[in-house]
Amino acid sequence: MNRKVVEIAGRELSLSNLNKELYPSCGFTKANVLEYYGRIAEYILPHLKDRALTLKRYPDGVEKEYFFEKRCPAYRPHWVETAEIRRDDNEQMTVCLVNNLETLLWVENLASLELHVPLAKKNSPETPDAVVFDLDPGEPANILDCARVALILRDVLSRLQLASYPKTSGQKGMHVFVPLNSPQVTFEDTKKFSKAVAVIMQKKYPDLVTAKMAKEERRGKVFINWSQNDSAKTMVCVYSLRGREKPSVSFPLEWQELKDLTGQGNPEKLQVMYSKAVSRVGKQGDLFREVLVKEQRLPHL
């Protein structure tokens, strides 16, 4: 059946093109995508809650064109919660808030395979809840190099009394989150902090790390993209699918596991696919829950 009307919490939602293959190389259809998000909902929703969603839509699947959509489409159902945010150019913009299962499935029905959110919530857009280190490998560096950098970062951060949490980006990189959850912190603080750490990492590990944005500086190294600590930037949400050839997920790992996998030297083992993601959260729960609640302070700022 290619169309289906479902009712969630008394709200009707019409799902369409269910047989469309959004990941054609492995026959993964829109129905599969909706099923994935339905099963992961309990874990992803707390991380999406009250954050201005950026949709990354693949209307004709991952092999065709995609586009980003920041505005919440005007044809949204009336029950979709929204927020008004002010953009850089001072224009008001209405954005979607994915605060419940029906909204999650509605955006997935729009083939928004990837869900991107800012580091701050809608009511405090200038207060980041975490510092993020976005580790991006420049060819031929790969996710294993990112994992090595992540492990060093964890060591540095823990000596600053800061707990940190890694996840795969679901593409080639890794993200390390340092939860703060303090109303006093600003993006200026988090950017200053992450940049200082990135610059010193580059200084001490010049063959492995760069803190510079320029493409030619990044070849064979892991770029620590500290500039993601900005109110105007978004990160792919933990548990979001990625629009790669296969349905991989941005997935949280335990440090010990990351260390073991890195030791094995196979970059593929660091990727988590949708089916593994579902079975793992069933067993271990949300490894990223501390990111939402743990209160920490950045030193020396």
Partner 1 sequence: MAAQGIWSGTISFSLVAIPVHLVKAVQPGRVAFRSLHNTDFSPLVRRMFCPKQEKLVPPEEIVRGYEIEPDRYLAITDEELESVSPERSRTIEIVEFIDMKEVDPIYYDHPYYLVPSKGGEKAYRLLVEVMQRTNRAGLAKFVLVEREYLVAIKSTEGALTLFTLHYSEEILPDEGLAPKEGKLEAREKNRMKNSIKEMMADFDPGKYGNKHREKVMNLLQQKMTEHALVEAPAVEEEEEGEGPADLVATLENIMREVKKSR
Stretch that binds partner 1, among 26-34, 154-162, 254-262, 288-296 (CB under 8 A): 154-162
Tell me which of 156, 208, 261, 273 binds partner 1, using CB under 8 A.
Answer: 156
Instruction: Check binding of 204 to partner 1 (CB under 8 A).
Output: yes
Instruction: Check binding of 195 to partner 1 (CB under 8 A).
Output: yes
* Pick 84 or 254: Cβ nearer partner 1: 84
> CA 86 to CA 259: how far, in whole Å?
41
Pick from 88, 117, 299, 116: which is nearest to 192 by CA?
A: 299
Tell me which of 160, 163, 261, 278 binds partner 1, using CB under 8 A.
Answer: 160
* Pick 67 or 75: Cβ nearer partner 1: 75
DSSP string for 53-118: -EEEE-TT-TTS--EEE-SPPTT--TTS-EEEEE-TTS-EEEEEB--SHHHHHHHHHTT--EEEE-
Q: What is the DSSP letter of 233?
A: -
Interface pattern 50-79 for partner 1 (x via CB under 8 A): ------------------------xxxxx-
Q: What is the DSSP letter of 270?
A: G
Tell me which of 4, 19, 124, 155 binds partner 1, using CB under 8 A.
Answer: 155
**Phi and psi at residue 77, in whole multiples of 5°?**
-65, 155
Instruction: Check binding of 220 to partner 1 (CB under 8 A).
Output: no
Residue reference for tokens 């750490």: 197
Pick from 252, 275, 272: which is nearest to 44 by CA?
A: 252
Instruction: Check binding of 216 to partner 1 (CB under 8 A).
Output: no
One-letter amino acid for residue 188 of the chain: E
Instruction: Check binding of 301 to partner 1 (CB under 8 A).
Output: yes
Q: Which residues bind partner 1 (CB under 8 A)?
A: 14, 74-78, 86, 88-90, 152, 155-156, 159-160, 192-193, 195-197, 199-201, 203-204, 212-214, 227, 299-301
